[in-house]
């Protein structure tokens, strides 16, 4: 837990959770095991995150969110109050979520809509087209060539 993360009153925590700088968990939330609340993300009051679920950087959730096991909310998503998201689902970067979603879906947009089903075993956040391993390797090579 980073010292610049904040937990509200009566928050219940399981084990192995990660709170990055600027993470805020408001009153009466429950966070099960091995969840991530990433940089500058906030979970509204009475929210519940099941195990292995995550909020990417700069996610803003209204109160009473239910986030199912293994589900991932991507960069910069806003979620209004009272939303339920099932298990193994992904909300794409930059979305505005105004309705609940079930299990095993990818949804994004403003307002977010179901785009497709998730295939069991597919990576959660990497994209086939735009985030190739080779571009990651290029970054690592650039970094290793720096003289600082």
In angstroms, give the least distance from the CB of 105 to ligand COA. 10
Span interacting with ligand COA, options 5-13, 14-22, 105-113, 140-148, rule CB under 6 A? 105-113
105 CB neighbour count, 10 Å cutoff: 19
- Angle value at C-alpha 91, between 87 and 95, nearest 5 degrees: 150
Catalytic residue among 2, 32, 45, 88: 45
Q: What is the DSSP string of 132-148?
A: -HHHHHHHHHHHHT---
* Percentages of the chain per state (helix, strand, coil), in multiples of 5: 10, 30, 60
Q: Is 91 exposed, middle or buried (0-12, 13-18, 19+ CB in 10 A)?
A: buried
Contact between 22 and ligand COA per CB under 6 A: no
Nearer to ligand COA, 130 or 143 (CB): 130
Binding residues among 42-61 for ligand COA as defined by CB under 6 A = 56-57
Among 129, 141, 144, 145, contact with ligand COA (rule: CB under 6 A): 129
In angstroms, give the least distance from the CB of 1 to ligand COA. 18
Q: Is 56 exposed, middle or buried (0-12, 13-18, 19+ CB in 10 A)?
A: buried
Contact between 93 and ligand COA per CB under 6 A: yes
Which spans of this chain sit near ligand COA (rule: CB under 6 A)? 38, 56-57, 74-75, 90, 92-94, 106, 108-109, 125, 127-130
Q: Catalytic positions, please? A: 45
């Amino acid at each position: 837990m980073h010292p610049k993360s904040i937990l509200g009153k009566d928050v219940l925590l399981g084990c192995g959770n990660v709170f990055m700088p600027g993470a805020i968990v408001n009153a009466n939330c429950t966070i099960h095991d091995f969840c991530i609340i990433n940089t500058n993300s906030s979970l509204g009051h009475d929210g519940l995150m099941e195990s292995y679920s995550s909020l990417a950087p700069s996610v803003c959730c209204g109160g009473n969110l239910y986030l199912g096991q293994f589900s991932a909310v991507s960069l910069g998503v806003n979620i209004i109050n009272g939303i339920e998201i099932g298990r193994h689902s992904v909300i794409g970067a930059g979305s505005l979520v105004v309705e609940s979603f079930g299990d095993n879906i990818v949804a994004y947009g403003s307002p977010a809509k179901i785009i497709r089903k998730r295939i069991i075993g597919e990576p959660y956040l990497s994209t086939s087209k735009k985030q190739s391993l080779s571009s990651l390797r290029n970054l690592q090579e650039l970094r290793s060539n720096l003289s600082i």
